Amino acid sequence: MLNQKLKDRHIILASGSPRRQEFFRNLGLDFEIRLKPIKEEYPDRLFHFEISDYLAQLKSLPFLEELNEEDILVTSDTIVWHKGIALGKPRNNDEAFAMIKSLSNDTHEVITSVCIRNKIFQKTVNAITKVTFKAFTDEEIWYYIKTCSPLDKAGAYGIQEWIGQIGVTKIEGSYFNVMGLPTHLVYDTLIKIADEF
């Protein structure tokens, strides 16, 4: 259905995330993967979803000069927000341990922002999901770090992995948002773009 509405458009997903790529395939979209490196830095004044909104838009900037009117570029960014601090991807295993330890026995927010644009329009949307973890033992945290790949994930965890299976006691909001893409928002926004532009 969505692919038919966008049949005259060229969808570009600027993400190396296999999860986001799978989501786009599951939405029934024909799309191209196009990647450009970017330094993920943001001003200190930004707070909460402003951070992920800014980074999602920032990731779109290197593509602007090459976009045509029929193109639709999609960029996104996910952060974990906990106690007034944005947790991105850990740089090493020790940092991953510290992140998961801080999330243990507490509730945090996962915020994903998606920027959809071409030469004539830009829309940025975001979703916020609250996730509550049980109290993890140090042994459980280290087991997860050694058996999975936490370094490429915001907050050092993937909800679909072992630690999510044994640790999530409550979730409020979109599960897929925690995995890295609020698919319902992407779908609705692309439908509106197809109708409006």
Residue 77 among the catalytic residues:
yes
Average pLDDT over residues 109-122: 95
Domain that holds residue 53: 2-196
pTM of the model: 0.93
- Measured in whole angstroms, how far is the alpha carbon of residue 51 from the centre of its chain? 12
Using an 8 Å Cβ cutoff, are 143 and 170 in contact? no
Using an 8 Å Cβ cutoff, are 186 and 56 in contact? no
Express each pLDDT in 25-67 by its tens digit: 999 999 999 999 999 899 999 999 999 999 999 999 999 999 9
Measure the CA–CA gap between 184 and 152, rounded to whole angstroms: 23
Domain count, the chain: 1
- Provide CB contacts within 8 A for 181, sequence distance 6+: 19, 20, 23, 76, 112, 114
- CA separation, residue 111 to residues 7, 67, 108 (Å): 30, 27, 10
CATH label of the domain that carries residue 33:
3.90.950.10
Express each pLDDT in 138-154 by its tens digit: 999 999 999 998 998 99
> Which single residue is written with the structure tokens 């644009």?
117
Instruction: Write down the catalytic residue from 8, 44, 71, 77.
Output: 77
Closest CA to 155 of 107, 86, 105: 86
The tokens of 111 are what? 């915020």
Q: Please tell me the predicted confidence (pLDDT) of residue 161.
A: 95
